[in-house]
Amino acid sequence: MLLCKVKVKQRWKGIRLRKKRFVMGNWKMHGDIQSLQEFQKINQQNYSGLEVVLFLPATLLALAQQMRCIYGLGGQDCHFADFGAYTGDISAKMLADVGAGYVLLGHSERRLGHGETSAQIALKVQAAWRAGLHVVLCVGETLQQKEKGQFKEVLAQQLYDSLNDNINFDKLSIAYEPVWAIGTGVTAAAKDIHSTHQFLDDCLQHKFGAQAGKIALLYGGSVKPENAAEISHIENVDGALVGGASLKAEDFTKICNFFT
Ligand code: PGA
């Protein structure tokens, strides 16, 4: 049953079990061998207490690993099967084989651009855990859904349908990425990020109980050096998922510094 229909009156009172903070960079379909120079600049700073993860294009993962990446590496998607006749796809096991420890699943550019359903994403989540990867599951509403006041229903549905009951709580983070904020330069207001994260916390607690306190909640959507400080101070934001600004070492390292 959807949480928004249940109308949870009691807010999340569970113990926040998350200890780490994250800054994750999503390079999307950007980056060639030359851009590994930028990667190398990012790969020089050590941030204590901060888990930095880079979702590079799959073509660069093995090379980045050979360059002694000091951060986590991740793939931007994976197939739900471990291997097979799936031309053009990459399995979670293949990502793990070239050094990835993470995978991004359910990004809106896959949900909307490739028609991926939450049911398919749920299968990919299980495949990722079979391969030992940490899943960063993205959820987010479109502008139209926001304007129609449907965003809670959309978020709860994406969350519940992308996760079944078999959860690896130690290898799951959720990224709230409003679609209207991705690549637009428009960021959600701090109070809206806070209340939406609260809602996601409530949804997770409703479904999974106290264990949900282990799941980190990241915000993504036009995070840049100019707004990272404010976002980093929102009490229930455990980190950021950064797209465009992760392509420049200077910007990305500034963002990381705000989260340390
Ligand atoms: P953006 O992308 O930071 O360029 O808005 C975020 C994302 O899509 O993960």
Whole-number Å distance, alpha carbon 183 to ligand 1 midpoint, is 5
Candidate from 7-11, 118-122, 191-195 with smallest mean pLDDT:
7-11
Q: How far is the CA of 133 from the centre of ligand 1 (A)?
A: 21
- Lookup: tokens for 66: 């050979």
User: Model pTM greater than 0.85?
Assistant: yes
Q: What is the mean pLDDT of residues 160-176?
A: 96
Known catalytic residue at 107: yes
Radius of gyration in angstroms for the set of CA atoms belonging to the chain, rounded to a whole number: 17
Among residues 107, 134, 197, 206, the one annotated as catalytic is: 107
pLDDT band of residue 175 (cuts 50, 70, 90) is very high
**Closest ligand 1 atom to Cα of 220:** 6
- Helix, strand or coil, per DSSP, at residue 42: helix
Question: Over 50: is that where the pLDDT of 12 sits?
Answer: no
pLDDT tens-digit series, residues 65-107:
999 999 999 999 999 999 999 999 999 999 999 999 999 999 9
Q: Specify the ligand 1 atom closest to the Cα of 223.
A: 3
The three-state secondary structure class of 173 is strand
CA dihedral over 160, 211, 92, 76, signed as positive or negative: positive
Is 54:25 a contact under the CB 8 Å cutoff? yes
Mutate which of 222, 226, 227 for ligand 1? The one with the most ligand atoms within 8 Å of its CB, which is: 222
Residue 38: active-site member: no
Q: Which of 51, 109, 141, 177 is catalytic?
A: 177
Q: Which ligand 1 atom is at minimum distance from the Cα of 241?
A: 9
CA distance 210 to 77: 28
- Kindly indicate the confidence band of residue 5, based on its pLDDT and cuts at 50, 70 and 90: very low
Sorted by sequence, the CB contacts under 8 Å of residue 239 that are 6+ apart come out as 21, 22, 23, 24, 51, 173, 216, 218, 219, 259
Nearest residue by C-alpha to atom 7 in ligand 1 = 243
| pLDDT of 15 above 60 | no
